Amino acid sequence: MVREDTTAKIFLAAVIVLGMTICSLTGHSESFDKPVRETVISLGRSRYLMANNPSRIQLSCFYYQKFMVKQLNNPGLKGVRWVTVTPVINNDAPPCRLAHASTERFMATAWWGFEGIKRSLLFLHAADGDGNGGMPFRILDLETGKKLFEDSTEWKSDLAFLHNRDGTISLKYSRVVGGACSIPKDGASCWGKYKRLYGLALATAPKCTGYRNEGDKEWVAGDPGTPPEEISTPSAIAYPVELKLFPRPSIRVIPGPVRCTPVE
């Protein structure tokens, strides 16, 4: 996957509160806002697929009260072709068709697919994971199309929205970062680097899994003898965070286990 140079800047722009603090959540979680209705139109076979592949090009329209999200997915090409947003004017919902209206705004092209809506925010997911074993996602402002935040979460890890006692909404997920050094190889010095970089001052050093020796057996921390060469592979870690969404995205570490695996 091609990584954008702006990703690192977005990470640094997020406000990381050092230390493990108890987040002020009510315990009530929810998912994305539900559309009023959905429409899916088949546009026929993709010329990029084998003749026996039944998959079809699909135009999907998600209708909300004030706007419609539309995306085109060609299964013969990696990644959604585009995602757009069209406002609903005078309660007149725009038609679900391939042609673009003059009021339609492009939110993503070629790689990012529609994930969901939360209030005034649009969420996108990447077509593929990153080298750290995570799945990148983006948050955009619905009105302007401006990218507000980008990060990476664990594969098959849900994005859970939570209501705070102050009336704001937060997003809880397992954040994935890595590549700085190898925790199995460098031990405490490497783990110390991760703690400083990501505000994990009170976290316990993780037990790394997925590293294998020459006999294709998984290496376990504390095994006697010389560590296998494979443990020099940089480590990726996953740890729980809370992302406060309004008035602007800000992220902090929350209590929970840290996982460690080799970078792919």
pLDDT in tens, 233-242: 899 999 999 9
Instruction: Name the pLDDT band for 210 (thresholds 50, 70, 90).
Output: confident
**pLDDT of amino acid 246:** 85
More confident site: 231 or 79? 79
Would you say residue 140 lies in a domain?
A: no
Same domain flag for 233 and 198: yes
Same domain flag for 80 and 157: no
User: Percentage of the chain with pLDDT > 90?
Assistant: 64
> Is the pLDDT confidence value at 148 over 80?
yes
**pLDDT of amino acid 206:** 93
> Is the pLDDT confidence value at 175 over 80?
yes
> Is the pLDDT confidence value at 11 over 50?
no
**pLDDT of amino acid 90:** 93
Distance CA 110, CA 82 (A): 6
**pLDDT of amino acid 17:** 33
Same domain flag for 26 and 67: no
Q: Which long-range contacts (CB under 8 A, 24 or more apart) does 142-145 make?
A: 142/67, 142/85, 142/117, 145/85, 145/105, 145/106, 145/107
Same domain flag for 84 and 52: yes
Mean predicted confidence (pLDDT) in 183-207 = 93
The reply to whether omega before 247 is within 30° of 0 (cis) is: yes
Which of 178, 199, 192, 201 is closest to 259 using CA atoms? 178
**pLDDT of amino acid 96:** 97
What sign has the CA pseudo-torsion 17, 242, 83, 156?
A: positive
Same domain flag for 93 and 108: yes
Range of the domain at 47: 34-118
Model pTM above 0.85: no
> Is the pLDDT confidence value at 120 over 90?
yes
**pLDDT of amino acid 219:** 63
**pLDDT of amino acid 214:** 52
> Is the pLDDT confidence value at 250 over 60?
yes
Same domain flag for 252 and 168: yes
Instruction: Name the pLDDT band for 220 (thresholds 50, 70, 90).
Output: low
Mean predicted confidence (pLDDT) in 190-217 = 86
Q: Which of 6-10, 16-20, 223-227, 240-244 has the lowest mean pLDDT?
A: 16-20
Would you say residue 218 lies in a domain?
A: yes
Mean predicted confidence (pLDDT) in 206-230 = 66
Same domain flag for 158 and 258: yes
Q: How many domains does the chain have?
A: 2
Instruction: Name the pLDDT band for 198 (thresholds 50, 70, 90).
Output: very high
> Is the pLDDT confidence value at 24 over 50?
no
